[in-house]
Amino acid sequence: MGDQILTTVDWARAQFALTAMYHWIFVPLTLGLSFLIAFFESIYVKTGNVEWKKLTKFWMTLFGVNFAIGIATGIILEFQFGTNWSNYSWMVGDIFGAPLAIEGIFAFFLEATFFAVMFFGWHRVSKGFHLFSTWMVAVGSNLSAVWILVANGWMQSPAGMSFNPDKARFEMQNFWDVALSPVAIHKFTHTTSSAFLLASLFVVGVSALFLLQARHQKMAKRSMVVAAVFGFVASIFCAFTGDEAAFNVAHRQPMKLAAMEGLYVGQEKAPLIAVGAINAGKRPGDDQPAFHQAVKIPGLLSLLANRDPNSFVPGIDDLVFGNAGQNVVGAEQRMITGRTAISALASYKEAKGRGDVAAATSALAIFDQNKGDLGYGYLSSAVQAVPPVAITFYSFHIMVVLGTLFPLIFLLVIYFAFRGTLESQRWLNLACFASIFLGYVAQQAGWVVAEVGRQPWAIQGLLPVGVASTNIAVSNVQTTFYIFLTLFTALLVAEIRIMVKQIKTGPEA
């Protein structure tokens, strides 16, 4: 039975990864394009130039297609918490459900209400109210992201809760500690700024295609300038928020940071890997090198992690086996503490069941002393606390390299636009069009870092994914996996076909 449970967990993880990555194809474009549309319409209302109205309605059409399919994939994504992760839902439903409920009741209804006015109210409401509705759709879309990312941030760094030993559930104690945790704040700012960046790449890339085809050139250049300015500002903000997010990871998820940099042996003046070929055969505690080849920047990882280039950054070996000299408690020791907590919890329930108040009180005190490492007690080996290093490392570096490239593209667009030679820069327009695909690669890589890098935890340090899953037949999860794969692929193909058709039609229609 144990092997079947493990297989079921793996399929459940694969299914959630599939649906989440498909969903994230649509979400960032919705978040960023909604603001760009609001900018375009604001220019139209201020100038009265109908060309800006045509431009706004063109991008609004593409936004609407993307918005609708994003909702469909998001609903399916949330259902999985009840089907494949019922133990997770039981143990943390009081906390995890609150931000999701707020997102559905408040943010989604806000954007849905004004969405109808934005699309169908052009000749039914005043210019001012229509513009207000467009801005409310942008605000509502991003408010939805707030609460989704608060929930995700809590999973990465739980706060504002306590464990109820009688019900074996985590219960919320302080809503604002959950909503305003540093992890949640930085996750929201980094994710939304990256979404603004992607949407800017999309607008710039599609507009560049018009220039390559010598069609709708005036509209294309206007769109490119606004999107490039917005994208450049977003890319700078994205870099800043990314640095703050990495700083939080260093202090709340040090194993994730070690995997992001392929750092096995902790060190002072730890270098940042600029480029590297990681050794896939490397295992914690062995003597193999971590990299086949690597270009390192001395001291930079210590600076980014601790704001001190001479500071110590723990590596995977330290976090698995411990490092007493640097006061690093390893997973081996945490497993002992976690198993003590699990045993004490069982003793507490047993003593309470037979009415032995003194024994129950003693067992509960032991549990409270050790509950911080509760999740480690479910691991069978300390090495299980290590996420897939190669995937995390390469995803992180792909994201960073592409994130460095995008602001350069935006600057070049702005430069040649103001010189009046943008349409003649074929090489740049080709690069802009290709950057649409690269933007999506960077987005997906970022989420791989965030989610794969925190494995094996459903809730950091408290609940492994193996304990969080539903005990159902593996065939059920396999069947739904392939159903979702087929359905989501069909939706993606449908969106691309509709968008391509609309782009071929152009704004003039």
User: Do 249 and 267 belong to one domain?
Assistant: no
Same domain, 405 and 356: no
Give the dihedral sign, CA 445/28/228/205: positive
The DSSP bridge partners found for residue 171 are 162
Which of 352, 386, 420 delimits the end of a domain? 386
Residue labelled with tokens 């030679």: 421
Residue 273 and residue 235 share a domain: no
**Triad 414, 32, 222: Cα angle to 5°:** 35
Q: Are 172 and 178 in contact (CB under 8 A)?
A: yes
Largest Cα span, the chain: 85
Do 470 and 322 sit in the same domain of this protein? no
The answer on 349 and 230 residing in a single domain is no
Within this chain, do residues 18 and 134 fall inside the same structural domain, yes or no? Answer: yes
**CA nearest neighbour of 261 among 219, 315, 213:** 315
- Per-residue pLDDT tens for 48-75? 999 999 999 999 999 998 988 888 788 8
DSSP reduced 3-state for 295: strand
Q: Which residues of the chain are under the pLDDT cut of 50?
A: 1-5
Q: Which of 336, 365, 386 is the last residue in one of the domains? A: 386
Query: Which residue in the block uniquely carries the two structure tokens 């609903």?
Result: 75
**Element housing 459 (H / E):** strand 457-459
Same domain for 84 and 199: yes
**Single-letter code of the amino acid located at 313:** V
- 395 and 455 within one domain: yes
Query: Same domain, yes or no, for 359 and 410?
Result: no
Sign for the pseudo-dihedral over CA of 466, 472, 473, 477: negative
Write out pLDDT tens, residues 444-475: 999 999 999 999 999 999 999 989 888 888 88
Mean pLDDT for the chain overall: 91
Cα 416 from chain centroid (whole Å): 34
The total number of structural domains that make up the chain = 2
| 130 and 242 together in one domain | yes
Q: What is the pLDDT of residue 2?
A: 41
264/269 Cα distance (integer angstroms):
14
Q: Which residue among 354, 369, 386 closes a domain?
A: 386
Note down the domain range covering 347. 261-386
Residues 342 and 398 in one domain: no
pLDDT digits (tens, 9 = 90+) for 368-424: 999 999 999 999 999 999 999 999 999 999 999 999 999 999 999 999 999 999 999
Same domain, 378 and 408: no
In this structure, the number of other CB atoms found within 10 A of the CB of residue 67 comes to 22
The answer to whether residues 141 and 155 touch, using CB atoms and an 8 Å cutoff, is no
